[in-house]
Amino acid sequence: MTRIGTSDLDVLPLSLGGNVFGWTADRDTSFAVLDTFVDGGGDFIDTADSYSAWVPGNEGGESETIVGEWLASRKPAGVVVATKVSQHPQFRGLSAANVRKAAEASLKRLGIDEIDLYYAHFDDETVPLEETVSAFGGLVEDGLVRHIAVSNYSAERVREWVAIARRLGVALPVAVQPHYNLVHRNEVEDTIIPVAEEFELGLIPYYSLASGFLTGKYRSTDTAGQASPRAQGAAKYATEAGLRIIGALEEIGDAHGASIAATSLAWLRAQPTVVAPIASARTVEQVPDLLAGARLELSDDEVQRLDRVSEWAPSRA
């Protein structure tokens, strides 16, 4: 188990992404994925109030609703639920009033009394940061939220948030969620990890498998015939340099009897401050690989080899 920052939340070092629930995984499939995840020892679920508003016919909140129905049906013990605010079509931005209304709506959809970890999903510079920080602090004080976190914030804005929270005497963030994986490294390693170390924040990366590229499934930039809506985003990495990363992951994984995906997640877990990479599963069959990634331990030499082979990553240019 791994502690999320300075919080009292201890989790298996893997977060199941709920972005596919109500999108590429219907209710029954989502229930089956969640069952398999928890049966395998998983206990950390990541969603957002905006998932999956981008799907025609959806309004946002579909993922939270599915997770809430599953929680009510299964009543699992010790499961940590994280969700986010700022992108739902009816609750955009981070004004104090919006944060409060969005949190109450998320609680209703999830069917719970308190959100374990509540993120500011994207920075909203149209609202004074002090207003947002105070609003999040109020949610903790009123018992609607246990701990707060930030997602897609710059290091500078994280520092500002912490300084304001200290001055106001309200809850400090315990985690930060950036886009981070073997093919997207530089921004996080140069700026976000140092601020996470400075303030003892747990790093919870999203796009941990680069939209599926780091599963080894996409080995060509040609997406013709690919049914997955994520194929375009994944296949863009299937260059000669990108495929060298896949080759190294495959070789190292084979030495452990592990998949490319599990090995990629294990590399992420080995990085400073990383607590629990987020990875989603559209099918039950994908879940064991993700759980394996939460338990696989790479040697220092293996981590360093993957560091070297991924130095080409676009974000390192």
- Annotated catalytic sites, by residue? 51
Contacts of 281 (CB under 8 A, 6+ apart): 16, 17, 20, 25, 33, 37, 287, 290
Q: Residue 32 in contact with residue 230, Cβ under 8 Å?
A: no
Among candidate residues 248, 251, 267, 243, the one with its CA nearest the CA of residue 180: 267
Helices (runs of H) and strands (runs of E) counted in the chain: 12, 12
Pairing verdict, β 87-88 and 91-92: antiparallel
Cβ-contact 153, 133 below 8 angstroms: no
Other C-beta atoms lying within 10 Å of the C-beta of residue 153: 24
Show the tokens assigned to 59: 């309004």
Quote helix, strand, coil % in the chain, to nearest 5: 45, 15, 40
